[in-house]
């Protein structure tokens, strides 16, 4: 197949940048893909260094109890994923094997474990912060990362079901948090320029579920609570959100009881880097051969 007539995803598979697993949006990563991810991590760390943020790395699952408390199911039930496990006796086990053998549904007897898949890297952070007492006067800064799950199978390589999200999160007064987001809107543009990626920054909204969700989405846009750094990845499609800049006001802090010394609820904001999307944007613009990438880009990523 010629390069221009196969899809970007097919070309990524053909070069071993990604490997198919049989499920749309679930891919194994090849060596050169991971080199780019490591490079991106270094560039992001450089841009975020001034925060002296506390580093926390999460496993891809979080506590189901805390997830229920987070309200994620109110807003995004269509994207959530939970982990279920087998708890039966030997007879149940035989029945289960029979069902698998006969190609029948075997998962109806699985029960929810205490773990759900993490939907965004900052979700497991707030319960940790809430246990620490009042937020100190100069604010709190975190550098978090997690594999995240979203049930949105797609042939678009930039829409994965499991992907890494690196985030900087600020917890503090409204002024501190707004200043943090303004700085990141600027740094986000610098970051894209350093990597020579064509980009624009636009106001955005989250994919809230249902009719009520449309109201939430338009109010989020009106209040300018979410911005995205967009880069064209799939030709013909809208540009893809590669970095998100979110101001949550006191939403998460009120929910988790995170307070300032004054007793008022803190405010929070996060900047979320979609690691796979950024890597794919680079492969799209600079080609599938890392050795042929422009030297300033290779230098920025220390490839
Ligand atoms: P919040 O904390 O308010 O829920 P967030 O910033 O943690 O928001 P998003 O804005 O939804 O979460 O996602 C952050 C980044 O993750 C996006 O900018 C994007 O780059 C990446 N991302 C989101 N969905 C996908 C996906 N399906 N596949 C790959 N990357 C994704
Ligand atoms: Zn976040």
DSSP string of 159-213, one letter each residue: S-SEEEEEEEEEEE-HHHHHHHHHHHHHHHHHHHHHTT---EEEE------HHHH
Over residues 228-256, the pLDDT tens digits come to 999 999 877 799 999 999 999 999 999 99
Residue 293 Cβ contacting ligand 1 at under 6 Å: no
Helix (H) or strand (E) holding 251: helix 251-256
Q: Is the pLDDT of residue 269 over 90?
A: yes
Q: What DSSP assignment string belongs to 225-240? A: -EEEEEE--STTSPPE
Among 62, 220, 272, the mutation site with the greatest number of ligand 1 atoms within 8 A of its Cβ is 272
Atom of ligand 1 nearest to the CA of 248: 3
- CA–centroid distance, 197 to ligand 2, in Å, is 23
pLDDT for position 5 = 66
Ligand 1 atom at minimal distance to the Cα of residue 161:
27
Percent of the chain with pLDDT over 90: 96
Q: How far apart are the first and last CA of the chain?
A: 30
pTM for this one? 0.96
- Give the pLDDT of residue 236: 72
pLDDT given at position 4: 59
Pick the CATH number of 35-81+119-301 from 3.30.2350.10, 1.10.10.10, 3.30.930.10, 3.30.200.20: 3.30.930.10
* Nearest protein Cα to ligand 1, atom 7: 120
Nearest CA to ligand 1 atom 11: 206
Confidence of residue 50 (pLDDT cuts 50, 70, 90): very high
Which atom number of ligand 1 is nearest to the Cα of residue 154? 27
Q: Return the pLDDT at 115.
A: 98
Q: Quick one: average pLDDT of 169-185?
A: 98
Q: Give 260's DSSP letter.
A: B
Ligand number with the minimum distance to the CA of 120: 1
CA 151 – CA 161 distance, rounded (Å): 6
Around ion ligand 2, which residues have CB less than 5 A away? 120, 122, 167, 270, 272
279 lines ligand 1 (CB under 6 A): no
What's the pLDDT score for residue 133?
Answer: 96
Confidence band of 109 (pLDDT split at 50, 70, 90): confident
Domain residue ranges of the chain, discontinuous segments joined by +: 35-81+119-301, 84-114
126-138 mean pLDDT:
97
Specify the pLDDT at position 2: 56
| Nearest of 86, 176, 173, 76 to residue 117 by alpha carbon | 76
What is the CA(34)–ligand 2 centre distance, in A? 23
């Amino acid at each position: 197949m010629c390069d221009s007539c196969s899809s970007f995803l097919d070309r990524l598979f053909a070069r071993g940048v990604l490997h198919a697993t049989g499920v749309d949006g679930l891919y194994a990563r090849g060596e050169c893909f991971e080199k780019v991810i490591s490079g991106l991590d270094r560039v992001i760390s450089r841009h975020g260094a001034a925060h002296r943020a506390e580093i926390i790395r999460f496993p891809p699952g979080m506590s189901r109890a805390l997830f229920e408390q987070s309200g994620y199911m109110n807003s995004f039930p269509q994207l959530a994923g939970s982990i279920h496990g087998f708890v039966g006796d030997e007879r149940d086990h035989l029945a289960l094997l029979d069902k698998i053998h006969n190609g029948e549904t075997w998962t109806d007897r699985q029960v929810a474990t205490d773990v759900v898949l993490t939907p965004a890297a900052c979700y497991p952070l707030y319960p940790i912060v809430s246990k620490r007492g009042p937020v100190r006067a100069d604010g709190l800064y975190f550098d978090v990362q997690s594999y995240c799950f979203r049930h949105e199978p797609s042939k678009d390589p930039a829409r994965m079901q499991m992907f890494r999200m690196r985030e900087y999160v600020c917890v503090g007064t409204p002024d501190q948090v707004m200043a943090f987001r303004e700085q990141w809107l600027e740094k986000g543009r610098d970051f894209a320029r350093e990597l020579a990626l064509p980009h624009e920054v636009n106001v955005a909204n989250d994919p809230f579920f249902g009719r009520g969700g449309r109201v939430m989405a338009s109010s989020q846009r009106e209040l300018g609570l979410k911005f995205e750094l967009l880069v064209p990845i799939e030709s013909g499609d809208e540009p893809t959100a590669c970095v998100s800049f979110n101001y949550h006001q006191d939403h998460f802090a009120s929910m988790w009881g995170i307070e300032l010394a004054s007793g008022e609820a803190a405010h929070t904001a996060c900047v979320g880097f979609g690691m796979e999307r950024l890597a794919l944007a680079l492969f799209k613009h600079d080609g599938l051969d890392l050795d042929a990438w422009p030297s300033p880009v290779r230098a920025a990523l220390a490839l």
